């Protein structure tokens, strides 16, 4: 069919070609907001095609098909070798359209006049049935042959034996005695069959690194210019502004080659890498102890005079030279056992005279904040699937594994670009099988898939998405309950806050009945949320029945989502219950304080004061200022003194007002000049006080006895990196008892110099 027929058949009812150009404000884009799933799932037989029959096809899907969900249609196309993209381009050969096709894609196809075939679901099935295996054009065949040739060449290089012999300092060291695995040659004493695949097929040359060519080049340039930057005391930024940094921070997803790149770049420039990672003890004191010979200015100054060259770092026998580079891996993995380690590394970076390469996964983590101004950031991204596919197919060829290209691409997609995870999956699979089908790759990928970087908002979006409870959904009840267990405190609140903003997909009525059906679905969801709240009171109640958490997951999240799942109208809102609960606790504490101060003049519990006294006090503390203005200030102060109330207590009583006693509205009616005059007059006078909270006095410092070792409390307390000098102790002790900070103690003001002069002049005149 042509594009005009496709627009008439599949385009939305409000589709308009000219509308997009004149549209001034667009609604925020929400992924999969308008997807509702197939209208008749499973109603058509899925065709069986020949292997690799769609290898020459570049397909774009838009809209919802009648019997297949979008994910199933994409997997079906990839199963037979097709390349699936998200947007049409000049390379697109087929566009498969369904109901509610994307307006943007339709407009692009019409405006660009792309030479692609437009198919519906039946046409897509016929394409699979009619295509034959091996019936490819010359261009595609040549491309496949070139890829196969490249795979065999890389596999042949992998089979070449690495240099054997004793490992020296030039091969790189890991503090603790073990040789770092990334980028190291295989050991001759150990059979290659006994090695892990991540070690056996680790990159040994710069060309073996997959992807991130720009990041690797930045790292190489920084390390290559290191001697010149050190000579200029890091005052010359250089072309990429990296010359002012003593260290770099490599950040990116795990398993994409950050550590391997650091080792290979260092060796290619003649440096000896020394690595520390999460398996090493990296507390603050141990880092300073282990690295003081590597980073200390005094020792390094001697290197350039020949005094320190060849000096051993420690019992490991790693020799420190002016061509040593320190690699700190997984610096964002420092937890409670590494308290102070990040601060110690950052402090050492500031004075280091050897290059330091820090590696982390999440650069935006709060733990990484100290490195923002001391390191040059280089971001590594997930490599492209095609580049990873070539490398992994070479590994599979070398290990006698028969895995088609489309199967390997499916495995790469499930591993989310983690090359280390892919090698481990292939290694595990090779123990029992030598071939792999597309379905087996999907199952293996799902079994080893890592939970991605999710926030409660993305979890809520997935749980209430259009396909979660659709008939074609592959999610089990346990899979749906796992969304709750990702954040069991926040997910129920998100559901309660946002379920009314959903547009239920299983509501297919129209007109007034559509609104009625939506109300019934919302009512059922609200009843389930209420049941979940009762279960939560048992979990967090006096008995704490934590075994009820699975039931709470179903009642508070899964069952409500089953009623209201579908596209959301807006992005999920933050739960306002958290703010209201915080305000409630604050007002409750304020009410208790008011009741405690009033006990000398009034009787009653906190609840009685809230219900009986405070409504009357609200009138007495606000109306005189509204009615009489400045003349009513004395009346308000008298009431406050009679009940031993202060300014904070008055503000709390006004904030506790409800209905007609809305404190915010009443306060607006008081003129600003009256408010300021009231505050000045109250502060200038003395007032009776029922009791006064004592001044917070800092704990006395424990004096260390001579000859005793200082206690190591760093692991138990959050000790700051900056140590307060001992000379300031006396001054701090004096500040703790400074009575001038006490509001109840008012010092007598000394007469000014001018006043003293006038007094003397009068005395002389009298004489």
The DSSP result for 704-759, as a single string, is PPTTPPPP--TTTS---SSPPPGGGHHHHHHHHT-GGG-TT--PPPPPPHHHHHHH
**Segment 490-525, tens digit of pLDDT:** 999 999 999 999 988 888 787 888 889 999 999 999
Task: Quote the CA–CA distance of 85 and 93 in Å, as a whole number.
Answer: 11
Tokens of 120: 């519906």
| Threshold 0.85, pTM exceeds | no
Is the confidence at residue 167, as pLDDT, over 60? no
Instruction: Label residue 299 by pLDDT band (50, 70, 90).
Output: very low
Q: Which residues pair with 379 in a beta bridge?
A: 251
Residue 538's CATH number: 1.20.272.10
Per the model's pLDDT, the better-predicted residue between 320 and 318 turns out to be 320
Residue 418's CATH number: 1.10.8.60
pLDDT at 719: 43
H or E element that contains 356: strand 356-360
Contact 613, 649 (CB under 8 A): no
Q: Locate tokens 């799933």: which residue?
A: 37
How much is the CA Rg of the chain, to the nearest whole Å? 36
Tokens of 439: 């379905």
Domain boundary among 379, 402, 422: 379
Domain boundary among 450, 471, 489: 450
* Cβ atoms within 10 Å, residue 27: 9
Pick from 131, 2, 115, 10: which is nearest to 62 by CA?
Answer: 10
Claim to verify: residue 333 and residue 353 sit in the same structural domain: yes
Structural domain count, the chain: 5
Residue 248's CATH number: 3.40.50.300
Claim to verify: residue 372 and residue 406 sit in the same structural domain: no
Contact 446, 48 (CB under 8 A): no
DSSP assignment string, 245-273: -SEEEEE--TTSSHHHHHHHHHHHTT-EE
**Segment 619-639, tens digit of pLDDT:** 999 999 998 888 999 999 999
DSSP assignment string, 118-187: EE-HHHHHHHHHH--TT---HHHHHHHHHHHHHHHHHHHHHHSPPP-S---GGG-EETTSPPP-TTPPPP
Is the confidence at residue 649, as pLDDT, over 50? yes
- SS3 of 365-391: CHHHHHHCCCEEEEECCCCCHHHHHHH
Per the model's pLDDT, the better-predicted residue between 761 and 508 turns out to be 508
The pLDDT of 717-733, averaged and rounded, is 45
Task: Quote the CA–CA distance of 543 and 537 in Å, as a whole number.
Answer: 10
Task: Quote the CA–CA distance of 546 and 312 in Å, as a whole number.
Answer: 55
Pick from 116, 56, 62: which is nearest to 81 by CA?
Answer: 56
**Any domain includes 690:** no
Claim to verify: residue 482 and residue 427 sit in the same structural domain: no
Claim to verify: residue 218 and residue 353 sit in the same structural domain: yes
Claim to verify: residue 280 and residue 391 sit in the same structural domain: no
Q: How far is CA 617 from the centre of its chain?
A: 49
Q: In what order do the strands lie in the sheet with 94-97?
A: 83-85, 58-62, 94-97, 117-119
Domain boundary among 624, 659, 684: 684
The CA distances from residue 605 to 459, 591, 595, 599, in Å, are 45, 10, 7, 9
Residue 7: left if φ>0, alpha if ψ -120 to 50, beta else—which one?
alpha
Tokens of 751: 């007469």
Claim to verify: residue 568 and residue 591 sit in the same structural domain: no
The pLDDT of 342-347, averaged and rounded, is 80
* Residue numbers of the domain that contains 605: 579-684
Claim to verify: residue 244 and residue 289 sit in the same structural domain: yes
**Segment 401-422, tens digit of pLDDT:** 888 888 888 888 888 888 888 8
Q: Locate tokens 């627009």: which residue?
A: 7
**Any domain includes 741:** no
**Any domain includes 738:** no
**Any domain includes 347:** yes
Q: Any idea what the Cα angle at residue 386 is, between residues 380 and 391, rounded to 5°?
A: 80
Average pLDDT along the chain: 77
Claim to verify: residue 589 and residue 511 sit in the same structural domain: no
Per the model's pLDDT, the better-predicted residue between 227 and 570 turns out to be 227
Claim to verify: residue 36 and residue 106 sit in the same structural domain: yes
Task: Quote the CA–CA distance of 90 and 39 in Å, as a whole number.
Answer: 31
H or E element that contains 62: strand 58-62
Sequence-distant (6+) residues with CB within 8 A of 143 are none
Instruction: Label residue 187 by pLDDT band (50, 70, 90).
Output: very low
Q: In what order do the strands lie in the sheet with 356-360?
A: 173-174, 272-276, 324-328, 356-360, 247-251, 375-379
Claim to verify: residue 216 and residue 325 sit in the same structural domain: yes
**Any domain includes 216:** yes
Instruction: Label residue 34 by pLDDT band (50, 70, 90).
Output: low
Is the confidence at residue 35, as pLDDT, over 60? no
**Any domain includes 720:** no
**Any domain includes 742:** no
Claim to verify: residue 563 and residue 526 sit in the same structural domain: yes
**Any domain includes 755:** no
Tokens of 57: 């096809």
Claim to verify: residue 346 and residue 413 sit in the same structural domain: no
**Segment 574-600, tens digit of pLDDT:** 999 999 999 999 999 999 999 998 988
The pLDDT of 25-44, averaged and rounded, is 59
3-class SS at 60?
strand
Q: Which residues pair with 84 in a beta bridge?
A: 59
Pick from 60, 110, 111: which is nearest to 82 by CA?
Answer: 60
pLDDT at 692: 66
Q: Any idea what the Cα angle at residue 547 is, between residues 543 and 548, rounded to 5°?
A: 85
């Amino acid at each position: 069919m042509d594009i005009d027929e496709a627009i008439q058949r599949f385009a939305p009812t409000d589709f308009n070609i000219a509308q997009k150009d004149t549209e001034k404000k667009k609604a925020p884009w929400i992924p999969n907001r308008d997807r509702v799933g197939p209208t008749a799932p499973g109603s058509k037989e899925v065709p069986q095609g020949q292997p690799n029959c769609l290898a020459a096809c570049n397909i774009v899907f838009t809209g919802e098909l009648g019997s297949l969900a979008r994910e199933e249609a994409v997997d079906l196309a990839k199963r037979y070798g097709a390349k699936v993209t998200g947007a049409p381009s000049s390379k697109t050969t087929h566009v498969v359209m369904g109901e509610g096709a994307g307006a943007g894609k339709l407009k692009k196809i019409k405006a660009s006049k792309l030479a692609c075939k437009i198919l519906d679901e039946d046409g897509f099935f016929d394409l699979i049935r009619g295509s034959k295996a091996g019936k490819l054009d010359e261009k595609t065949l040549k491309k496949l042959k070139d890829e196969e040739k490249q795979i065999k060449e890389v596999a042949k290089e992998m089979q070449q034996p690495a240099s054997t012999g004793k490992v020296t300092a030039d091969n790189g060291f890991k503090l603790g005695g073990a040789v770092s695995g990334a980028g190291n040659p295989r050991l001759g004493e150990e059979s290659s069959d006994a090695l892990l695949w991540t070690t056996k097929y680790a990159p040994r040359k710069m060309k073996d690194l997959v992807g991130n060519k720009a990041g690797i080049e930045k790292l190489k340039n920084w390390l290559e210019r290191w001697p010149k930057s050190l000579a200029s005391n890091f005052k010359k930024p250089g072309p990429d502004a990296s010359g002012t940094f003593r260290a770099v921070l490599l950040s990116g997803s795990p398993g994409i080659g950050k550590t391997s790149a650091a080792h290979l770049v260092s060796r290619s420039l003649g440096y000896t890498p020394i690595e520390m990672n999460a398996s090493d003890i990296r507390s603050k004191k141990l880092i300073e102890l282990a690295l003081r010979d590597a980073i200390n200015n005094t020792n390094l100054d001697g290197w350039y005079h020949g005094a320190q060259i060849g000096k051993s770092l420690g019992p490991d026998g790693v020799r420190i030279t002016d061509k040593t580079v320190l690699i700190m891996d997984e610096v964002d993995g420092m937890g409670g056992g590494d308290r102070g380690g990040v601060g110690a590394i950052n402090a050492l970076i500031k004075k280091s005279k050897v290059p330091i390469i820090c590696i982390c996964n999440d650069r935006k983590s709060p733990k990484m904040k100290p490195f923002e101004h001391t390191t040059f950031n280089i971001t590594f991204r997930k490599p492209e699937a095609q580049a990873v596919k070539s490398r992994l197919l070479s590994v599979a060829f070398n290990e006698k594994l028969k895995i088609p290209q489309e199967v390997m691409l499916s495995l790469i997609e499930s591993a989310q670009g983690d090359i280390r995870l892919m090698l481990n999956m292939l290694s595990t699979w090779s123990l029992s099988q030598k071939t792999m089908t597309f379905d087996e790759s999907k199952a293996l990928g799902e079994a080893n898939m890592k939970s991605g970087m999710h926030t409660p908002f993305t979890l809520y979006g997935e749980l209430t998405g259009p396909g979660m409870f659709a008939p074609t959904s592959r999610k089990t009840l346990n899979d749906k309950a796992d969304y709750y267990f990702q954040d069991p405190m926040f997910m129920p609140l998100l559901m309660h806050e946002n379920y009314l903003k959903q547009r239920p997909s299983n509501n297919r009525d129209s007109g007034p009945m559509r609104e009625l059906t939506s109300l019934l679905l919302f009512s059922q969801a609200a009843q389930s949320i209420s049941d979940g709240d009762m279960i939560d009171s048992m979990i967090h109640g006096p008995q704490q029945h934590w075994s009820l958490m699975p039931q709470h997951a179903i009642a508070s999240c899964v069952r409500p989502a089953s009623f209201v799942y579908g596209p959301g109208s807006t992005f999920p809102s933050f739960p306002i219950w958290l703010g209201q609960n915080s305000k409630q606790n604050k007002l409750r504490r304020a009410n208790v304080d008011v009741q405690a101060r009033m006990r000398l003049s009034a009787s009653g519990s906190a609840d009685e004061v809230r219900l009986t006294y405070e409504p009357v006090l609200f009138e007495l503390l606000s109306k005189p200022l509204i009615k009489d203005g400045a003349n009513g200030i004395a009346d308000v102060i008298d009431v406050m003194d009679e009940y031993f109330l202060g300014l904070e207590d008055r503000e709390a009583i006004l904030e506790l007002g409800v209905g007609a006693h809305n404190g915010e509205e009443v306060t607006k009616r008081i003129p600003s000049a009256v408010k300021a005059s009231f505050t000045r007059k109250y502060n200038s006078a003395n007032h009776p006080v029922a009791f006064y909270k004592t001044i917070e006095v800092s704990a006395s410092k424990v004096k260390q006895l001579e000859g005793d070792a200082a206690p190591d409390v760093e692991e138990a307390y959050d000790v700051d990196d900056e140590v307060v000098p001992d000379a300031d102790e006396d001054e701090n002790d004096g500040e703790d008892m400074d009575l001038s900070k006490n509001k109840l103690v008012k010092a007598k003001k000394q007469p000014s110099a001018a006043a003293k002069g006038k007094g003397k002049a009068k005395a002389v005149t009298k004489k």
